[in-house]
Amino acid sequence: MSFVLSLLILVPLVGAPVSYLAIRVNKRFGMLLTLAISAVAFAIASYSFWFLSANLPAPGQYVMSEKYIWINLSFISLDYLLGLDGLSAPLVVVSTLLVLLAIIGSRSQIGHHEAEYYALILLFEGSIVGVFTSLNLIFFYIFWELVLIPMFFLIGIWGGPRRKYAALKFILFTYGGSTIMLLGFLAVYLGTSVPTFDIPDLAGKIPPGLQYLPLLATFIGFGVKLPIVPFHTWLPDAHVEAPAPVSVLLAGVLLKMGGYGFIRISLGLFPQASIQYAWAFMLVGVVTMFYGAIVATLAKDLKRMIALTSINHMGFVLLGAYSTASSGSPLGVQGAIFQMFNHALAIGSLFMLSGYIHEQAGTREIPLLKGLRISMPRTATLLMLSSLAAMGFPIYSSFVSEFMVIAASISAYSPYAVTVLVPALTGAYFMWMLRRTVLSAPTGSVVVKDSSRLDSAALFAYLVPLFILLIFPYVILDPAAPVSQYILHLRGG
Amino acid sequence: MDLIFAAVVVLSASSLGIPLFQVAAKKEKRWISGYVLVVALLSALAIVAFNSVAPQSDPAFKNLLISDSLGNFFAIVTVSVALFVAVASLEAIRKSDNAPIYYGLLSFTALGMLLLSFTQDLLMLFVSWELMSLPTYVLAGFDKKRVQSNEASVKYAILGAMSSAILLYAISLTYGLTGTTQIIPAVRAIAAQPFSLATSIAILLFVAGFGFKMSIVPFHMWIPDAYEGAPTTVSTLLAAATKKAGFVAAIRVLLAVTTVYVITQNPIFTMANILAVLALLTMTLGNAAALTQRSMTRLLAYSSIAQAGYILVGFVAYAYGLQTNAYSQQTNAYFIEATIGMTGALFHILNHAIMKGAAFLVAALVLLELKRGDVQAYNGLGRRMPLAAFTMTVAFLALAGVPPLNGFWSKLLLFLSVINGPFAWLAVAGIVNSAFSLGYYAWVIKRIYIDESESNEKIKEPIPFIVVFGVAVGLMIGLGLFPQQVINFASSAVPNIFPR
């Protein structure tokens, strides 16, 4: 039995108290140690991704599975069950990468209570890896909730002026959504012939009649996280108030939990009900995409604009996933997985940049930021490059994933061709933002410092994979193919 | 060797012996009485724990007490809480001249709860009920110079006396109807009877009498005033221990009787339906009221009411399981939902004792050190009293049912037990209530760690409290990570409720 995934969860979880103590003793050494811990986690994640690519499992199978019995009584049994497939592996890699980059970026952004801060970041990392790798519903739920606790404190303690409100709103929304999701999990336990919470054993065995209410319950739980339109109001507050590196983790990693849940659980466990209501999910996805794009256009605060772009981009994930359920085109799920990976990197660099700009220029108001190309040339260049990534410009892989999702949605129902307007809108408001901030004439003689070379290099690291993946998209798409096929198999096609 | 009798002897000796310190010891030596009680409670706990590992079949008073898993379970819960309270009191009432009286009364309460856990006779039940309750009336008024404490004591005593009277009336009716005071034979006799008004009245009187202690809406009115007014260590005892004794009495008497008996001729009034409505009212009202509180002890009191509502969900599952005659003679096993629900209820009773006990003791310490009981006093507590603040945070997260803490597992079992039947709405209500309750729990946690306090001066946390906090946090996290043994222990008590 493999132990790599357990190790991947335990390294950050055990690392959290270790780095807390180390920073209390010696700040510099402790922060380097934190960096080392997250680098080790990233290395293990990369190894497991490589292992998966080398040993692609059949649809519905997982590699590096680990199973231990946790609770085994006559009336309830629970397993510690981990596994990796083409859906979870890209998310695990990108999560650990973003944590590593966020830790590098925190150096200049976080000025007090460093020990607690870095310990909470590592706690978050361990929990998020647990979410993406656990294959037992209750085990999954435990990590799912565990993610909230460090996030609540990270927003509440190190956030901006309205941080208290944002932290409370964040935890109430997401906890409310996830408890309802738990009801859906509980409902399937006694409904199948052999009571179990293991996802591989449940897939395809839940009677169709029992799928509708759990589907609704999980829709609410994952929908709050993704977020979809009626449940999105926590997102702008949380993302704007959180410090920049935490916003990176919120948008880059936490939102992916929703997309992951939709594909792994909503589609994977309730396929019949999903197909029947795929139109509703797709409609919600399209509404979310347009809503996010329109409100982002109107946003005056740079960070708020970036936060709202996430809503727009995560709509693609929902649309793609359910396009596959509806049309049988494998592009949808593959595109959704790819989109999650790309969005994480693009949005990560944008949030870090907004943090630097705010720190140096003293404001994030787009109309007040003038002539960044003169005052902060490195930052301005990176802002342009990252904006292109978020727009889905065809020098980055985000173009491929958005293209795949739109193609899949058209094959489901041709009027969804209207979704091509979303990248156009996104492009428009990013261009407008760049014109106002980067390309405008500088005002006054405010002396601002550019971001340092190290920070610029770290920011560039967000964009390199996107560029490489445009040329080699199969690195992500090949492992994702069996996931897509499995959804099609469950769908009965 | 009769172990239960040994435990009773130990606690009787400490109950009678400790007050002697008041007359025999000098003022500055009276603190010793607290340590005597701690030792007595520890030995009683050890005896009961041994009894649950190697059960002794028949206690000395064979017709009055029964040595079963259910009794062991409740005895461990209640005596442990009494022990926690005694340890914390070592600091909390260190300066009091009347310490031996306090510890003596605490010891009597512990004895009452021990006897109540193992009782199998209605008269014994009443005697131990009173033995448990009477000292707490005095304890609630222990701060005799504080008006609120006196008010709490009087209010609690009057309502307590009323509930005892109601209970006694129910017992006498049961005796009249069945001709026995033995619980199990009485239950069988009642179950065999057709509908009669007297039986229904007896059952409803039992609900009212026990409901008073269990803090079930609409018998909850005394709770916030008593918990707020009483010395907070005593409130801990009321919320985490005597309340649980109310549950064991209800489980032993009510659940078995009433699940097979329809209260009126209208079949809608089954016990499961009545309990379900009570559960819904109790959890909703408790949470809604807790959200608006400005005093920490009142907030905890309402949260305690809400938790009683969750526990009732398990009772509903059990009652419904028995009502549908789901006991299978072939496999000698209960309907799986009934087992899950009752196990969840028992586990939640244990968890609630730990979580609420820890939260109340933090409140007691804050009141002791800061002389303030409003929630504002908790602003910035994370920097001033780090251990107390951490304990409060863990306890609140556990109360809200956040995994991987102990409260999560019991709620999981409770809601799992009703989700697939006609009471699915109760699971939805419970989950929504849980999510809602985080509103005030997270609000306090925000105050503790995020809000600024008026002063940043560090406050020394006394050793007895640190010990209790450490044990409580260890239990909350430990039972959260490895719940199997305790769930198993709780489930082994389920068949004792209505032995075949």
pLDDT in tens, A276-299: 999 999 999 999 999 999 999 999
Please tell me the predicted confidence (pLDDT) of residue A447: 62
* A191 or A477, higher pLDDT: A477
**Is the Cβ pair A74, B428 closer than 8 Å?**
no
Please tell me the predicted confidence (pLDDT) of residue B328: 46
Nearest to B106 by CA among B153, B45, B40, B154: B40
Q: Report yes or no on B430 lying in a domain.
A: yes
Domain boundaries, position B416? 270-500
Q: What is the DSSP string of B188-206?
A: HHHHHS---HHHHHHHHHH
How many residues appear in chain A?
A: 493
Query: Residues B214-226: what's their mean pLDDT?
Result: 88
| pTM for this predicted structure | 0.93
Q: Report yes or no on B169 lying in a domain.
A: no
* Integer angstrom CA distances of residue B67 from A273, B2, B76: 51, 10, 13
CA dihedral B301, B306, B308, B309 (to 10 degrees): 160
Query: Residue B432: its chain A contacts at CB < 8 A?
Result: 176, 179-180
- For residue B327, pLDDT over 50 is answered with no
Q: Which tens digit of pLDDT belongs to each residue from B245-257?
A: 889 999 988 776 6
- Range name among A448-462, B299-313, B459-473 with the lowest pLDDT average: A448-462
Q: Which tens digit of pLDDT belongs to each residue from A126-178?
A: 999 999 999 999 999 999 999 999 999 999 999 888 999 999 999 999 999 99
Joined together, the tokens standing for residue A167 give 């932290």
Q: Report yes or no on B285 lying in a domain.
A: yes
Extended beta strands in A5-115, E state = 63-72, 77-84
Q: Report yes or no on B384 lying in a domain.
A: yes
User: Per 3-state DSSP, what percentage of chain A is helix, strand, and coil (rounded to 5)?
Assistant: 75, 5, 20
Backbone angles phi, psi at B65, to 5 degrees: -115, 150
Number of compact structural domains in chain B: 1
Please tell me the predicted confidence (pLDDT) of residue B256: 66
Q: Report yes or no on B496 lying in a domain.
A: yes
Separation of alpha carbons A162 and A414, rounded Å: 44
Q: Which tens digit of pLDDT belongs to each residue from A308-323?
A: 999 999 999 999 999 9
CA dihedral B197, B201, B207, B210 (to 10 degrees): -150
Nearest to A306 by CA among A256, A253, A248, A222: A248
Chains A, B: CB contacts under 8 A, how many? 98
**Is the Cβ pair B402, A149 closer than 8 Å?**
yes
Which of B415, B419, B484 lies at the smallest CB-CB distance from A73? B484
Which of A70, A76, A168 lies at the smallest CB-CB distance from B442? A168
**Is the Cβ pair A138, B343 closer than 8 Å?**
no
**Is the Cβ pair A187, B420 closer than 8 Å?**
yes
Separation of alpha carbons A357 and A376, rounded Å: 9
Separation of alpha carbons B404 and B425, rounded Å: 25
Q: Report the first-to-last Cα separation within chain A, whole angstroms.
A: 33
**Interface-testing mutation among B416, B420, B485, with chain A (most A C-beta atoms within 10 A):** B416
**B20 to chain A, minimum CA–CA distance in Å?**
49
Query: Residues B136-162: what's their mean pLDDT?
Result: 91
By C-alpha distance, the chain A residue nearest B424 is A187
Please tell me the predicted confidence (pLDDT) of residue A493: 55
Task: Decide if A317 contacts A336 (C-beta within 8 A).
Answer: yes
Please report, rounded to a whole number, the percentage of residues in chain B having pLDDT higher than 70. 94
- For residue B332, pLDDT over 80 is answered with no
Q: Which tens digit of pLDDT belongs to each residue from B374-418?
A: 999 999 898 899 999 999 999 999 999 998 899 999 999 999 999
Joined together, the tokens standing for residue A486 give 């499995």
Nearest to B286 by CA among B270, B265, B312, B305: B305
Q: Which tens digit of pLDDT belongs to each residue from A184-236?
A: 999 988 878 788 899 998 888 888 888 999 999 999 999 999 999 889 999 99
**Interface-testing mutation among A175, A212, A234, with chain B (most B C-beta atoms within 10 A):** A175
Mean pLDDT over each residue of chain B, to the nearest integer:
88
Nearest to A109 by CA among A101, B44, B368: A101
Q: Report yes or no on B434 lying in a domain.
A: yes
Query: Residues B445-451: what's their mean pLDDT?
Result: 91
- For residue B331, pLDDT over 50 is answered with no
Greatest alpha-carbon span in chain B: 68
Task: Decide if A187 contacts A211 (C-beta within 8 A).
Answer: no
**Is the Cβ pair A182, B343 closer than 8 Å?**
no
pLDDT band at B488 (very low <50, low <70, confident <90, very high): very high
Tell me which residues of chain B have a C-beta less than 8 Å from any C-beta of chain A. 333, 336-337, 339-340, 343, 397, 400-404, 408, 412-413, 415-416, 419-420, 424, 427-428, 431-432, 434-436, 438-439, 442-443, 445-446, 449-451, 483-484, 487-488, 491
Query: Residue B479: its chain A contacts at CB < 8 A?
Result: none
**Interface-testing mutation among B347, B402, B440, B448, with chain A (most A C-beta atoms within 10 A):** B402
Mean pLDDT over each residue of chain A, to the nearest integer:
91
Which of B402, B436, B446 lies at the smallest CB-CB distance from A167? B446
Q: Report yes or no on B83 lying in a domain.
A: no
pLDDT band at B187 (very low <50, low <70, confident <90, very high): confident
- For residue A113, pLDDT over 90 is answered with no
**Is the Cβ pair A146, B408 closer than 8 Å?**
no
Backbone angles phi, psi at B247, to 5 degrees: -65, -40
**Is the Cβ pair A182, B431 closer than 8 Å?**
yes
Assess whether the previous peptide bond of A150 is cis (omega < 30° from 0). Answer: no
Q: Report yes or no on B397 lying in a domain.
A: yes
**A161 to chain B, minimum CA–CA distance in Å?**
12
**Is the Cβ pair B336, A141 closer than 8 Å?**
no
Separation of alpha carbons A402 and B196, rounded Å: 72
**Is the Cβ pair B442, A70 closer than 8 Å?**
no
Nearest to B236 by CA among B393, B396, B84: B84
